């Protein structure tokens, strides 16, 4: 009499092996997932910081005259920014330009260039992570009398028959 043994289900040994594999694989997967979340958060922080720095540079570009005093403040999302503007060419604003014949040099006047540096930190602590944006800016001279005159004058529309 030959008995045919039919196995149904899993043996205890197979279940132990499956649990061991899960016990090893799940912590690794959770660690990878949390590492990915940290990387996404850090990327978002840098994106917000660069956007704030660009905003501060753009605010600077619409000003008349260079604000040579450092400025700082707190932006959205708890970001702290500092803007510093320093002359990029401390020498006079005149550069020699060779004429076509090459014998004489002519001096031309350039708008003064300034280096604008905007640093953004995540915390008020100076040792906290930060990023900075550097650019060169040419400012139109600050003419207070002209600015006041422009503000007082209303655009007039004359109808010419």
Query: By C-alpha distance, which of 137, 149, 133 is closest to 53?
Result: 133
pTM over cut 0.75: no
Please report, in tens digits, the pLDDT of each residue of the chain (161 residues total).
677 666 688 899 999 999 999 999 999 999 999 999 999 999 998 999 999 999 999 888 887 777 788 999 998 888 999 999 888 865 555 555 555 555 555 545 566 788 899 999 988 777 888 899 998 888 765 555 444 545 555 555 555 55
Per domain, the residue ranges of the chain are 12-143
What stretches of 2-160 show up as alpha helix (H) in DSSP? 12-61, 144-152
């Amino acid at each position: 009499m030959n008995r045919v043994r039919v196995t149904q289900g899993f043996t205890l040994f197979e279940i132990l092996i499956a649990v061991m594999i899960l016990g090893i694989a799940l912590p690794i997967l959770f660690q990878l997932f949390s590492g990915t979340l940290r990387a996404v958060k850090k990327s978002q922080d840098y994106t917000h910081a660069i956007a704030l720095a660009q905003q501060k540079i753009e605010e600077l570009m619409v000003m008349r005259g260079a604000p040579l005093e450092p400025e700082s403040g707190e932006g959205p999302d708890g970001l702290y920014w500092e803007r510093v503007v320093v002359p990029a060419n401390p020498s006079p604003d005149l550069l020699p330009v060779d004429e076509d014949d090459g014998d004489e040099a002519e001096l031309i006047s350039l708008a003064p260039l300034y280096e604008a540096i905007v640093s953004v930190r995540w915390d008020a602590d100076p040792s906290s992570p930060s990023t900075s944006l550097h650019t060169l800016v040419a400012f139109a001279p600050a003419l207070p009398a002209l600015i006041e005159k422009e503000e007082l004058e209303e655009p007039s529309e004359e109808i010419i028959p």
